[in-house]
A and B are shown apart, each in its own frame.
Chain A
């Protein structure tokens, strides 16, 4: 018998030891963090049911809270429209930058670096920070909320669209280039028509996401559904605040179901 060059038993043993060590290190970090923060794991877990009980008792909408529904409805609609508007505008801007900056369709190396930088700049400033910064210039208005959502969405969509282009469009693009088609012909016929389902899928996801985020932005900018939630909460009308949360949850679920249906049709 020829002796094999690698020692399998030794290699696997070493691998197992590494895995054990990795788990031990993660556990150790958790333990030390708890000590530093004076966080008691058992107590923390035990208090979760108590928190939910409090939530259920105080936030439960009562028959009276139905009277708030018209006001909630109007603000909710405002919020949904703001989310959709921000995503649509962001998608148009993002697709242009994604085409200019992706590895397969990009026009130059420096443009690629610029677009990547732009995307991380928009994406890595937290939504809350965007809203606070924009508050100075645009005061408490729907436009401030719209801009904050727009900037963050642009960052996300540029990145997502670039990855879609790089994954899905490379092959058809090469084929059209080989026929002698010009850059814009290749982009419109080969790239965009190939990636449209993935684009729409991402746009729908961002709309769902922005309805949720718009609530948070609304608390800061004093607009939309976030504003009414904040108002009810701070005036101790917890039942109405609970009603608001329930309405948001229902809308987000409905939007998700709706976009799943749309995806099924277009894909």
Chain B
């Protein structure tokens, strides 16, 4: 279980980016964070694995506070938190399987990680995961040759091989065409259930959020204004988040 308590962050003095964010997520649940651009969605997500250092609050993963961890402990905690990016953030020049295996780096000694030496078991698992995301025949191709949707699925496999408790998705479908976006969302939802993990995604598409997510968190100007199961997301709540004029456009 992931529990966030009173998270706060400001980049400039007296201009809070986040104030008093608190929520709980159970294993096997898919959470969508929605809200206008610049509301603080990315800041929340990156605070969860401490890529951004927040100022105040608690982030408890199965009772362990990530914010209190020192450098070595943080590396260990990050292994349990996979991350997926809008721009995929793969090493484009390397092959698909090498990129998937990067998810194991946190578990390896510095030297064998540096030279990229992986065990047979890790390689077998990488292939299995590629099969699961539907890319097994691309394993030995360079990532630069893949389409956007395929790259994102490599990113998902890289996160899964970490054996994570949580997967964070920073705008996972913002650079994808509608069909690929639908595909990736469905894959994320299915994997969340299958591996019983927590999946937290920043999304701009409210329709897709309602369709796939179990829980929706609404952020506006750094404050949490909505937190409920996705069926309860009403047009009023959307209007509250984005402004009245946007409702019609966003809902359909």
Contacts and interface: CB of A to CB of B under 8 A. Distances in A.
Interface of A: 171-172, 174-182, 184-190, 193-194, 196-197
12 contacts: A172-B90, A175-B102, A176-B102, A177-B78, A178-B82, A179-B83, A181-B113, A185-B108, A185-B114, A186-B105, A188-B114, A197-B93
B81 interface: yes
A197 B93 CA distance: 9
Instruction: Give the secondary structure class of A's interface.
Output: helix
A175 B83 contact: yes
B102 A189 contact: yes
Given A189-B114, A193-B94, A180 B89 contact: no
A180 B76 CA distance: 6
Nearest to B115: A188
Contacts of B91: 172, 189-190, 193-194
Interface of B: 49, 51, 74-79, 81-83, 85, 87, 89-94, 102-103, 105-108, 110, 113-116, 155, 158, 162, 168
Contacts of B75: 180-182
Contacts of B51: 174, 177-178
A171 B89 contact: yes
Contacts of A174: 51, 85, 89
Given A175-B83, A180-B79, 7 more contacts: A175-B155, A178-B78, A178-B81, A180-B75, A187-B114, A188-B115, A188-B116
Contacts of A196: 93
Contacts of B115: 188
Given A172-B90, A190-B91, A197-B93, A182 B113 contact: yes
B167 to A, nearest CB: 11
B221 to A, nearest CB: 26
Contacts of B77: 180
Contact of B78 (A180, A188, A193, A197): A180
A175 B103 CA distance: 9
B85 A175 contact: yes
B113 A185 contact: yes
A181 to B, nearest CB: 4
A171 B49 CA distance: 16
Contact of A184 (B76, B107, B114): B114
A178 B220 CA distance: 26
A194 B110 contact: no
B177 to A, nearest CB: 21
Contacts of B155: 175
A175 B108 contact: no
Contacts of B49: 178
A181 B116 CA distance: 12
B145 to A, nearest CB: 13
Contacts of B76: 180
Contacts of B94: 193-194
B78 A175 contact: no
Contacts of A194: 91-94
A189 B104 CA distance: 12
A182 B90 CA distance: 17
Contact of A179 (B74, B87, B162): B162
A179 B103 contact: yes
A12 B221 CA distance: 37
A189 B94 CA distance: 9
Contacts of A172: 89-92
A175 B99 CA distance: 10
A111 B167 CA distance: 34
A264 B107 CA distance: 37
Nearest to A181: B105
A177 B51 CA distance: 8
A171 B87 contact: yes
A172 B77 CA distance: 20
Contacts of B83: 175, 178-179
A180 B69 CA distance: 13
A177 to B, nearest CB: 7
Contacts of A177: 51, 78
A218 to B, nearest CB: 38
Nearest to A172: B91
